[in-house]
Amino acid sequence: MRQRFSSKRLTVSARLSGGLLRARPFLMTALVACLLLMNLGAAAQDKRPNILLIVADDMGWSDAGAYGGEIFTPNIDRLANQGYQFLNFHVGSMCAPTRSMLMTGVDNHIVGLGNMVELLSDNQRGKPGYEGRLNGRAVTIATLLHDAGYHTYMAGKWHLGYTKESLPASNGFEQSFILAQGGADNYEKKSYTPTYTTPPHFFDGLKEAELPPDFYSSKFYTDKMIGWIDGSLSEGKPFFGYLAFQAVHQPLQVPVEYTQRYVSTYDAGWNNIKSFRYQRQVELGIMPGGLKLTAPSVLPEWNSLPQDERRMDGKRMAVYAGMLEYMDMSIGRVLQHLKDKGALDNTIVIFMSDNGGEARELMNYFPEYYAKNFNLTYEHLGQKGSYVEYGPEWANVSMTPFSSFKSSASEGGVRAPFIISYPKSIPMGQRTDAFASVVDVVPTLLQFAGVKPASNSIPLSGRSMDALLTGASAQVYPSEASISQELSGGAAVYQGDYKLARNIPPYGDRKWHLFNLRVDPTESKDLASAEPERVKAMLQAYAEYVQKNGVIEVPDDYDIAAQAKKNAALKH
């Protein structure tokens, strides 16, 4: 070692003038010491974990095989078997509010997504916390990790604003390719709803991007992430990658061979598929037996439909299943690439969904638009140029065994699959039914990365899951803690095994109902009248949450569908 540095010293001396180093030998000693410190710092930095955060859009709790589904998802299932699978993880009831909390670790009402911008009630418009984009009050996890020496990449759906200040480039991501809006066609730069104009896609800063002719969202986002990861690994720096698929948000679209694998699967109808999934969940040990499976009363029975409607509905679900399988295959591509590069064992991988299954049927609101702009024939469903949504009946199946779906404060709207894998620190093959929330992701990842929250920002709303994940605790929150959430009139308070929930029409009555999720996860037995003191205490906790986070409640006559139409008209 001494001889090598001596040789290097002579080489440097020969390039510099007149005996400077000979006159001041301490300069070389200092230079060598600095190089050693730099090398030691790089070595320490290399040991920090990479982070890959994967988010599915509108994917139901029971869709993946690891959660009871019949859809072929070997890569998600392998993550669950080799990582830590959460059975009681909660998100917002709609996508942008969830994503705002996922990026900041702070409640959505504080960071600008107190409601979806498309659904703002008149009394919320223009108010702090309801900007419809990241408002800068909280520092994103990408900013914190980038400042700590991580490479930061984002590919996929953003939906957190597309002003200069709210795009990924202004929020810590050094490279990104994003769909800025809440959804779009998966093959073309084309809106999927008349409430949007041509959907903007962006490379990095404000450079709006065109899509290549062979674009398919899941493939393109995956290709981009793999390319960026390669650059990071070649430099020896850790990376934070946020891979946010459009799958399985409407329009449901996928290469035809993926749909064909499921065409006959769903002839059994939604009642039988839901029963099948629940039985699998019981066999897997992720749900107790004997639960009462419920569905909103407005949903029809499968056998009451005409044959041609059952045929069409079966294929719609086949497209959904194929799109999910393609996403799973894409996840497998990234994980295999990390494994081939020898980086998988030092990578924290998270897989999750942003809310419950999507029940909206936009085709009922704008039939002329879809008839004019898309091929709606049975033969073409799922292919380029088609438009597919699977409706509330299949959304209810996606959320087996729970009731309801996206936009509801019931478990069917806010309980999501969540899996985290990190072979170096998290025991393999674990499950937990401990309550956890999307606001807990940021503090957890910061703790594993050894990065402190910003001292000049809003305090984090959640807690690190580290003690649970490493076996030091069986819970994230103590049983006496109250955790609240609200969105578009729906609200919930969690405390231990209990949940107090409120939903608005058409799937609720604006009243508060109390459930014990430990014995009644399907929320079939209201305990409010039997336990008035508990209801009173939980309502007080909710009132404190409202005041602390600046929640502005929607008016009593608020209707989501009517407000969406009104806001779209104002926008255009």
Report d(CA 527, CA 525) in Å as an integer: 6
Positions of E strands within 397-489: 415-421, 430-432, 436-437, 482-487
**Out of 151, 159, 201, 249, which one is annotated catalytic?**
159
Question: At a CB cut-off of 8 Å and minimum separation 6, what does 311 contact?
Answer: 378
Report d(CA 488, CA 121) in Å as an integer: 8
3-state secondary structure of 197: coil
CA distances (Å), origin 554, targets 95, 125, 513, 547, 560: 19, 11, 19, 15, 10
Q: How many CB atoms lie within 10 A of CB 454?
A: 17
Counting Cα atoms < 13 Å in the Cβ hemisphere of 131 gives 18
Nearest residue to 318 via CA among 400, 216, 394, 377:
394
**Out of 90, 95, 109, 513, which one is annotated catalytic?**
95
Longest dimension (CA), the chain: 97
3-state secondary structure of 207: strand
Nearest residue to 221 via CA among 57, 398, 98, 449:
57
What radius of gyration do the chain's Cα atoms show?
Answer: 25
The question of whether 159 is a catalytic residue gets the answer yes
The question of whether 337 is a catalytic residue gets the answer no
Question: What letter represents residue 274's amino acid?
Answer: K
Taking each helix axis from N to C terminus, what angle separates 217-235 and 307-340, rounded to the nearest 10 degrees? 10
Write out the two tokens for 69.
Answer: 């589904």
Report d(CA 239, CA 445) in Å as an integer: 12
Write out the two tokens for 30.
Answer: 């200092």
DSSP state of 389: -
* Residues with active-site annotation: 95, 159
